[in-house]
Every structure is written in structure tokens, then in C-alpha cells.
Amino acid sequence: MTQSPTTPLSADSPHGLAAVEQEIARACKEARRDRASVTLIAVSKTFAADAILPIIGAGQRVFGENRVQEAKGKWPELTQAHPGVKLHLIGPLQSNKAKEAVALFDAIHSVDRASICEALAKEIKNQGKHPELFVQINTGEEPQKAGVAPQDADTFITACRDSHGLQISGLMCIPPVDQAPAPHFALCAKIAARNGLTNLSMGMSADFAVAIAMGATHVRVGSAIFGTRTVVHN
């Protein structure tokens, strides 16, 4: 007999969601935090619907994508079939994609410059939709990375509110891959605190427990749930 051509994630093949859930619960307990204070964003970039459906089936309701175009291709059908599912944009946003981003996403984690603020403010007004907004901070001041430099953060956050009329929910950061993440999480938390922001999007597969200890309210976990990405995708 020939094998079925596609067996993406059979009922008995383990996925990492349960292990990630367990680790989040452990990290919350250790930090004396309520489990409900941390939102798990399952980062499904590069994975198709047949890999995402079992994770929805297991009860996960918040998903993250880093490209507007990719999300537009696979999510409308999934969210229509599963109305409780929320979608977060965690990757860089171009102004010319703001319209699609506001239409598609419940949260945007990559607000980092005036042109994006302008485009988002316009679309929020036009569409009457209010995605939750996070300002991305480039805590490692890496030239190739998106985000506002730490020394410009206070001015930028104030401008989001006062010049663009945007309600900012929190801050997001991605520590440099070759450094200990804790000081970056601490810096992000400090900037949020002095700007009166309560939400912190920080922590990925390798460091979400550390992020929870340092106050993360949103952890963005991909490979620990879905497995290794075979497509290279930042």
C-alpha cells in the first residue's frame, strides 16, 4: 500500500502546545503571577492551515504572524470557521499595508515610526476598528532591526498619543540573538513603566519563561509549539 501523500500532524503526533502551556504555568507560579496575566501568542508563520488546525483544536485562540501578505492568504478562512480566534501582527509593518493590517489583525506589535502611526490612525478612523497597539523598542540598538531606539522611546510614545491620537497598549522587544535576554526585557519593562504602559510583548521559544519572570504579558512562541520552521523567515 502507498502512504497517504499528506500527513501533516496526525492525531498521535505530539505538538509542543501542552509543554509550552506547562512551562508558562510553572513560570507564572514561580513569579507569583496569575496565569491569566500572560497571553500565549502561537506564532504560526510559515505553517499552513493543516498545521494550525490541530492547535486551534487543542484550545489555543491567539495566533501571531509576521507578514501581512501571508496572513491574508491563510487566516480569513480559519477565523471565519473559528470566530473566537484572535490574530496578532508581530512583524514589521509598511505604511502601504496598514489598511490590510487594520482589517485583518486584532493587535499590531510593530509600531515604530511616524509614518506607520499616521497610516494606522487613518485606517482606524476609516474602518472603525481598534487593534491593540504595541510600540516596538530596539533594545539592542541593532541597525538591521526594526523598533524605536531606547533613548527615543519616551518622545515617540508621547507622539503616538498626542500627535497621532493612538492608544498604545504596551511595548514589544526582540533581544539580540547572541545576548542574554534578561537585561533587554528589563529595559523594555522600565520604559513601559515610566510611560504608564502595562502590557509587555516579550519572550519567544527560547526565553519565554525568563520574559514571564520579568513581567511579560504577551509571549510570542512559534517553534516550541509548531516545530522547526523549514522555510527561512525572520
Ligand X SMILES: *Cc1c(COP(=O)(O)O)cnc(C)c1O
Query: Closer CB to ligand X, residue 95 or residue 223?
Result: 223
Residues in the interface with ligand X (CB under 6 A) total: 13
Q: Which three-class secondary structure state does DSSP give residue 88?
A: strand
Does position 92 bind ligand X by CB under 6 A? no
Q: Taking CB positions, which residue lies at the least distance from ligand X? A: 222
208, three cell numbers: 519565554
Does position 24 bind ligand X by CB under 6 A? no
The rounded Cα 177 to chain-centroid distance in angstroms is 17
Does position 222 bind ligand X by CB under 6 A? yes
Query: Closer CB to ligand X, residue 81 or residue 180?
Result: 180
Does position 221 bind ligand X by CB under 6 A? yes
Question: DSSP assignment, residue 132?
Answer: E
Single out the segment in contact with ligand X by CB under 6 A; choices: 18-26, 146-154, 185-193, 222-230: 222-230
Q: What angle do CA 58, 63, 68 make, to 5 degrees?
A: 145
Q: Give the contact letters, 139-168, x = binds to ligand X (CB under 6 A), - = no.
A: ------------------------------
Q: What angle do CA 225, 230, 231 make, to 5 degrees?
A: 110
Query: Closer CB to ligand X, residue 90 or residue 124?
Result: 90
Does position 174 bind ligand X by CB under 6 A? yes
Counting DSSP H helices and E strands in the chain, the numbers are: 9, 8
Alpha-carbon distance of 170 to 148, in angstroms, equals 13
